[in-house]
Structure 1
Amino acid sequence: MNNDLYTYSKQMQHYLEAQEKRIQQLEQEVKRLTEEISVLKNKPPIHVDRIEYKFDQLKVESLDGTLNIGLNPNDLNNIDELAVNHQPVSPSPFPFPHREQVVKEMAKELITHLDEMIQETEAQVGITLDSTYHDFIKQDVERQLEQRIHMYFDHSLPNERAPHQFEHLKEKVFEKVKSDIQVALMNFITHSQGQTGGNQPNGI
């Protein structure tokens, strides 16, 4: 019990220090944005003439790019706050013991389900992709997994970080990331039909 209280007090100390640092960063950011807005207000308006695109002349030769899990990975660093009960809550690091090991184990478990999730999504939309696209999907998802898991841990609420709530929080983060993957797979496979024609189960 004493160890749990000590651990929790240390976590709260880290949390408060991170909050103070975050407030300072936000104050600097507000100042910078205010200055940028002032500069933009003084700039003359930009006029753009009509732009016409001829989409019938476009041809997709290959499918590449990035499969984004829920959000573009570049946006993960730009998420400044969440709203809880209509009150802003800034994310802060959650330095729980063996964090890197826990995140890697969670990512590894999610990866073991990837093939099954891809096949289930293909069955739902009636599209079967070539195995090379399966490899592309898995590589892109694996590349983003750990960053996504870290993000959800850092967006957890203080009451979720208590030692006796940690297993529940792990399960919650796992299910959130899994749900993000499923949404990303659905969007990717559905859009692939329009881009490349896809491979229908009947071979057409």
Structure 2
Amino acid sequence: MNQYHSWQSWIQQMMNQLQQQQKTIDQLQKKIKDLQSVEQPPKTVIEKIEYHFDQLKIETLEGTLQIGLTPNGSELSDISDLYSKQQNTPNTQLPKTDDQALHFLQEYMTSDIPGWMNQYVRDHDIQVSENHKERMIADIRKQLPQRMEYYRGQKPEAPPEEIFHQIQTEIQHSIAQYFETFEGDGDE
């Protein structure tokens, strides 16, 4: 009788385990059905992006400075809107000629951009040495005449102050984009 009882309890135990496993299987199948019934959000597909390097770039530093529309298609002024305090010309008057606009841009690079860069790196907690910032400014200053020619070729009838403001916005946007991918350089 003892042996019969042990077989019976063993069978009972196996039946309980089988029932427990069946419940687990049923729960898992229900979860699978629930997950399959949930609609998947549409996936974003980014196709070929072409960059034209006839625009402003920093030549002596590592990394890439992107000018123009961002890859996601946002407007040039998105980033610079946050830092548009220095959008004013260095003088209170607007440039009347392309030469005057170029001169104002050179002054802008000397008087406004260093402060703007310092504010930007402070706000975004980016470590950039003064030497690095000075080299960036020098590189951009060298490219200002070509940028004036580029915009004059794009819009021959545009007034000089419009081109001046476009290049100001482009400079801030480009520096901000460069800093977004910059990993910091500590002390040089």
- TM superposition score normalised by structure 2: 0.44
What TM-score, normalized by structure 1, do the two folds share? Answer: 0.41
Larger Rg belongs to: 2
